[in-house]
């Protein structure tokens, strides 16, 4: 139980750091003076002290929604695969529940964007709906196919099983699932080929457009929700597709887990530096590849057993 709680606390604490880390690596690679790795905390603390202003047109949803954006994601944190063997985990939660909870959070985010009645909010929400509609099927297929390889539909149990017995006979479908999941990780977190988190240009905004009218404490909630979403995806990627090192000394394997999270963040940063943002109407192409790979992973597993 102690490792379970510790892992969750570490993930929550590390979440803002990971996003700052990505930014730092990017700035370093672009020969800029890198920001501090604790920038995420600085932003949140600044936002909390600021005054919260709510648009006149906004209804009660604007007051409730930020909490409802954050809370499903916090809930998901409890269902993730464990970082070390012997730790407590919730074994019965499957792909549908996790995807559903993440979508619930996205749903409230979209409501939030619509509620302020600004033109940007509607634009951002419709784009977000467009992207997440394409992400969901691929996401379910991918996690499903990995769960099949691990002989258990529960995501956390699948992670444990994969660590115990690596599916070396199913490397091909495992690889396809990995590719698909990585594309989803990028798309769902609004990283570069799909969305640029750093810009406020109306042509390209997705996530930023929805939260343009949110200020102060609520913005802090939304920002931390975004970072927690990234940590959820990164930890799913780490425990499903890099399932090793769980049998070490518990503290050591938690450390390794954190290292894996940073590795995922590094990969994302490298991709962000090396690619240009896609036009919005090209995004389905990328997600199409993800769907094809997810499906391919399933049929390769079922038909060929490879």
Q: Which residues bind another protein (CB under 8 A)?
A: 168-176, 179, 284-285, 288-289, 291-293, 295-296, 299-300, 303-306
Q: Which is nearer to another protein, 54 or 289 (CB)?
A: 289
Cβ atoms of residues 26 and 198 within 8 Å:
no
Q: Which is nearer to another protein, 45 or 275 (CB)?
A: 275
Shortest distance in whole angstroms from residue 101 CB to another protein: 27
**Is residue 271 classed exposed, middle or buried when 0-12, 13-18 and 19+ CB atoms within 10 A define those classes?**
middle
Q: Which is nearer to another protein, 133 or 304 (CB)?
A: 304
**Is residue 73 classed exposed, middle or buried when 0-12, 13-18 and 19+ CB atoms within 10 A define those classes?**
buried
Shortest distance in whole angstroms from residue 153 CB to another protein: 22
Cβ atoms of residues 269 and 26 within 8 Å:
yes
Shortest distance in whole angstroms from residue 120 CB to another protein: 28
Q: Which is nearer to another protein, 179 or 238 (CB)?
A: 179
Question: Could you give phi then psi for residue 151, rounded to 5 degrees?
Answer: 65, 20
Q: Which is nearer to another protein, 30 or 303 (CB)?
A: 303
Q: Point out which residues pair with 94 in neighbouring strands.
A: 154
Shortest distance in whole angstroms from residue 296 CB to another protein: 6
Shortest distance in whole angstroms from residue 164 CB to another protein: 19
């Amino acid at each position: 139980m102690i490792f379970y709680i510790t892992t969750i606390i570490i993930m929550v604490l590390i979440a803002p750091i990971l996003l700052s880390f990505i930014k730092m690596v990017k700035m370093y690679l672009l020969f800029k003076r890198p920001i501090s790795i604790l920038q995420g905390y600085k932003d949140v603390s600044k936002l909390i002290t600021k005054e919260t202003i709510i648009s006149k047109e906004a209804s009660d949803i604007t007051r409730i929604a930020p909490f409802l954006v954050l809370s499903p994601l916090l809930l998901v944190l409890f269902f993730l695969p464990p970082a070390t063997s012997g730790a407590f985990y919730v074994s019965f939660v499957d792909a549908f529940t996790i995807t559903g909870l993440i979508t619930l959070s996205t749903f409230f985010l979209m409501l939030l964007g619509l509620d302020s009645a600004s033109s940007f909010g509607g634009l951002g929400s419709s784009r977000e709906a467009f992207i997440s509609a394409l992400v969901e099927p691929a996401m379910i297929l991918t996690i499903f196919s990995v769960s099949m390889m691990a002989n258990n539909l529960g995501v956390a149990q699948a992670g444990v099983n994969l660590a115990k017995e690596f599916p070396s006979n199913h490397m091909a479908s495992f690889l396809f699932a990995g590719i698909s999941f990585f594309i989803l990780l990028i798309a769902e977190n609004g990283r570069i080929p799909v969305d640029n988190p750093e810009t406020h240009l109306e042509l390209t905004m997705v996530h930023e457009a929805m939260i343009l009218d949110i200020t102060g404490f609520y913005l802090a909630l939304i920002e931390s929700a975004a970072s927690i979403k990234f940590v959820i995806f990164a930890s799913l990627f780490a425990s499903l597709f890099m399932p090793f090192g769980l049998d070490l000394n518990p503290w050591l394997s938690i450390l390794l887990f954190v290292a894996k999270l940073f590795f995922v963040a590094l990969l994302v940063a490298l991709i962000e530096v090396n690619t240009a943002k896609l036009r919005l109407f090209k995004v389905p192409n990328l997600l199409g590849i993800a769907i094809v790979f997810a499906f391919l992973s399933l049929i390769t597993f079922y038909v060929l057993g490879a």
